[in-house]
Structure 1
Amino acid sequence: MPDLNGVTVHPDCRHFRGDLPCRPNKEHGYVCQGCPVYSPVQQRILIIKLGAIGDVIRTTPLLRRLRQEYPNAFITWLTHTPAILPATDGPDEVLKFELSSIVQLQGRQFDLLFNLDKDKEAGALLNSISATQKFGYALRPHDGVVWPQNELANHKFLTGVFDQLSLENQKPYVQEIFELCGFEFQGEEYVFDTHADKGYQWPMLPAAGRRIGLNTGCGDRWTTRLWSDEKWVSLIQQLQHAGYQPVLLGGTAEDERNQRLHTATGAVYPGTFPLPQFINLVYQMDLVVTQVTMAMHISIALRKPTVLMNNIFNPYEFDLYGRGQIVQPNRECVCFYRGTCKLGTSCMEELSAEKVFAAVQESLSV
């Protein structure tokens, strides 16, 4: 190990900062010479997963495999949404996608680099950051097209550029990501923070009865997924009649709808909250009914039984880990990944509240 002016320094230690004293030095006064928590890093790994919050959440099972395969690795994750990644059991370093992060990453050397996004900026980063092995997607310099870095990425790439192949795909997203990185998916769960240590209190939630979280929105990109107020009211009333406690969930976009549903049925509506508090609210549920949304990913990550209402996506894409069910309209959807319905009226209106209610009961009886 190098000495600086006769002082031993361990820059290979996972605790070493370089610009500031490390935590063991601050908290215990340890120095590198004879440090009892010295932990040399054997591999440095970079994950580039910028994407939406839900996509970042559902990529976290990869952390479990990387920790198993490389127990002494230092894992860095670059993303648009660093706050969603857990502090415990998460990456060693989380960087927000911004110029300062990009500059320093381009000055470093990694053993493994995984770029899991087909965004051009992510592909350009794979090209420009030094790594012994690279996986995922690169940017072709001569035409600016994102392209598989190696054949492991071919399957996931092709299902993203041809609807026909996407419809035929029977691999869940997590399995595709694992294979892209050279691993066999073995049911690894998400790595996620319940935020139970934040002291959130929920006095408005029913103390008795099984709480059924109803996430009533679907975002504004693919509104063909929306379920009508009438359907939600019918489901709520069936749940209440059976002794369940429905709880309305959502963000600011769903606030008006949830206020209406609360008025019509008396179902509990706690309101809207910052993301960590919302995650902890979902943690209080016994089961969650949702569309394909961020709340779906949160529910799966929290290991809650999930009843997923789906129409425009390939159902094989979603792995509920044996907890819950995917329910779809009886009529086949013809609007694959479309934001508007080609037939004028979304097939979601043909998904009955009775079918969703039956899925809730079956999922809770397992």
Structure 2
Amino acid sequence: MKFLIVKLSAIGDVIHALPVASYLKRAVPGCTVTWLVEKASAGLVSNNPAIDEVVIFSGKKWVKELGKPGAWLRNFSEARQFFAELRAAKYDAVLELQGLLKSSLLARASGARVVAGFDDTREFADRFLTHKLNVGDYFGHDVPVVELNLRVAHYALTVLGLPAPELPVEFSLPLLDSSVDVKVDALLISASSTAPGVEPGGAGTKSGTVSVAVPQNSAPDLASIPSVAATPDMEASASRFTNKVGPINIILIPGTTWVTKIWPNSKWIELGEKLADQYPCRLVLVGGPAEVQSNYAIAAGIEAKRPEQMVLNLTGQTSLLDLISVFRRSALVIGADTGPLHLAAATGYPKVVGVFGSTPAKRNGPYGKQCKTVHLSLECQPCYSKTCKYGTVACLTDLDSSKVFEAALDM
């Protein structure tokens, strides 16, 4: 039995669909699972034990290069080959989990007898499905999107006349090469809150496109990670997250793409102060290149208020695979509604607290028993909008840091 999962992007959405691959593998022993994805999210499904094959859709590149006549012939040839191979694969069923016109057209282009997905989604995408699952209001606030995706998997198996057992939710993540752990160990040892564009101290060595500072001619020494003096009260508090007495890694993920998902820098600084006072910890900031400036400001703000607190700023220095390793070394992750937050939840290792504004906390929040979300309950929430119609983003600017801190304490 051959299945194709169509979930092209974004990172958080792909993570929320990962349990579907794991479910199919367990529910239909011997089946093969292929994932159709765009390049930006391919790292999550490549070298993944629940996924047999990954197909990259390069449509964005083809569209981007329409203005380059020299690329037309090459891209036309690539597209023709892509669709020919998609159809030649002869999938028994396609699970279209994106709910957009582009993804539905791709799913239908496979020629599969069963193309299952959600009824009543955007852009009339459901019109290209052969089998539509009515889940009520797909954009409703009360059902986690992870569970909605799994409903499509159950539905597809039922359509095929196969048993659709209820199974525990499992996030299958990529297998990590040992070099990833070595790199992350080096980062946690040697990284510091440097100004944007300035390398941490020490000799720089290149690892992919990331510059990692490690001592020359030496392997990372885990024993060299600085210690934080712990009081009895701090040790007792830290035990909520770990059985080991001593500094714990607390990860902060302030950045995301929508303005209406971003908690103000001043709130993150206040939260950092509270965490520093409560726990013997390393505060570690992570994010992409777009967050370099804002995360540096947050790190500098925490250090200014708590000069003795260890703050490591890894912004722009970690890939998705690196983050998996980072999260597995952490006790607590606090972040905005962004892909890395959901990746932290998918690892199942740290406690995870999501700070939510414009998006529905129960539907889109980090999934798992070790996760919770913090949000206000304004009449305008959730608005699903990238901009605030009132111009205030009050759902986040009015969210006090003490509320987020208390949520972490309660875990």
TM-score by length of 2: 0.69
Between the aligned partners of 1:178 and 1:264, the Cα distance in structure 2 is 42
Structure 2 residue aligned with 1:354: 402
Judged with a 3 Å threshold, the aligned counterparts in structure 2 of structure 1 residues 241 and 309 are, in CA distance, closer, same or farther, namely: same
Judged with a 3 Å threshold, the aligned counterparts in structure 2 of structure 1 residues 330 and 196 are, in CA distance, closer, same or farther, namely: farther
- Name stretches of at least 5 consecutive residues in structure 1 with no aligned partner: 1-42, 161-165
Q: 1:92 aligns with which of 52, 55, 62?
A: 52
Structure 1 residue aligned with 2:390: 343
Structure 2 residue aligned with 1:225: 261
Alignment of 1:328 with 2:375, yes or no, is yes
Judged with a 3 Å threshold, the aligned counterparts in structure 2 of structure 1 residues 255 and 101 are, in CA distance, closer, same or farther, namely: same
Deviations 1:292-320 (A, max 9, x none): 10111111111121101112122221353
Between the aligned partners of 1:150 and 1:106, the Cα distance in structure 2 is 16
Q: 2:133 aligns with which of 153, 178, 203?
A: 153
Q: State the one-letter code of the partner of 1:288.
A: V
Asked if 2 retains the 8 angstrom alpha-carbon contact of 1:324 and 1:359, the reply is: no
Moved more, 121-130 or 282-291: 121-130
Asked if 2 retains the 8 angstrom alpha-carbon contact of 1:108 and 1:130, the reply is: no
Alignment of 1:278 with 2:323, yes or no, is yes
Alignment of 1:312 with 2:312, yes or no, is no
Structure 1 residue aligned with 2:344: 299
Deviations 1:116-172 (A, max 9, x none): 122223212232323243211699xxxx8311636652227x424xxxxx2xx4211
Q: State the one-letter code of the partner of 2:126.
A: W
Structure 1 residue aligned with 2:274: 238
Q: 1:203 aligns with which of 189, 210, 226?
A: 189
Between the aligned partners of 1:184 and 1:175, the Cα distance in structure 2 is 14
Deviations 1:254-282 (A, max 9, x none): 11112112222222213422332233223
- CA-CA distance at 1:245 after TM superposition: 2.7
Matched residue SS, 1:236:
helix
- Name stretches of at least 5 consecutive residues in structure 2 with no aligned partner: 59-78, 156-163, 191-224, 228-245, 304-310
Asked if 2 retains the 8 angstrom alpha-carbon contact of 1:126 and 1:137, the reply is: no
- CA-CA distance at 1:353 after TM superposition: 0.9
Alignment of 1:75 with 2:111, yes or no, is no
Alignment of 1:249 with 2:209, yes or no, is no
Structure 1 residue aligned with 2:12: 54
TM-score by length of 1: 0.76
Judged with a 3 Å threshold, the aligned counterparts in structure 2 of structure 1 residues 194 and 218 are, in CA distance, closer, same or farther, namely: farther
Between the aligned partners of 1:349 and 1:223, the Cα distance in structure 2 is 11
Structure 1 residue aligned with 2:152: 180
Asked if 2 retains the 8 angstrom alpha-carbon contact of 1:334 and 1:342, the reply is: no
Between the aligned partners of 2:50 and 2:24, the Cα distance in structure 1 is 11
Between the aligned partners of 2:370 and 2:261, the Cα distance in structure 1 is 22
Q: State the one-letter code of the partner of 1:310.
A: F
Between the aligned partners of 2:362 and 2:165, the Cα distance in structure 1 is 17
Between the aligned partners of 2:334 and 2:289, the Cα distance in structure 1 is 18
Q: 2:107 aligns with which of 105, 116, 126?
A: 126
Judged with a 3 Å threshold, the aligned counterparts in structure 2 of structure 1 residues 297 and 119 are, in CA distance, closer, same or farther, namely: same
Alignment of 1:191 with 2:172, yes or no, is yes
Q: State the one-letter code of the partner of 2:110.
A: I
- CA-CA distance at 1:193 after TM superposition: 2.9
Matched residue SS, 2:251:
strand
Matched residue SS, 1:290:
strand
Judged with a 3 Å threshold, the aligned counterparts in structure 2 of structure 1 residues 75 and 349 are, in CA distance, closer, same or farther, namely: same
Deviations 1:70-104 (A, max 9, x none): 11112111110322214141311111014243320
Asked if 2 retains the 8 angstrom alpha-carbon contact of 1:206 and 1:245, the reply is: no
- CA-CA distance at 1:344 after TM superposition: 2.5
- CA-CA distance at 1:194 after TM superposition: 6.4
Moved more, 129-138 or 285-294: 129-138
How many pairs align?
A: 307
Between the aligned partners of 1:45 and 1:87, the Cα distance in structure 2 is 17
Asked if 2 retains the 8 angstrom alpha-carbon contact of 1:217 and 1:226, the reply is: yes
Between the aligned partners of 2:328 and 2:49, the Cα distance in structure 1 is 18
Describe how 1:137-148 pairs up with structure 2 within 5 A: 145-147=124-126
Matched residue SS, 2:312:
coil
Identity of aligned pairs, percent? 23
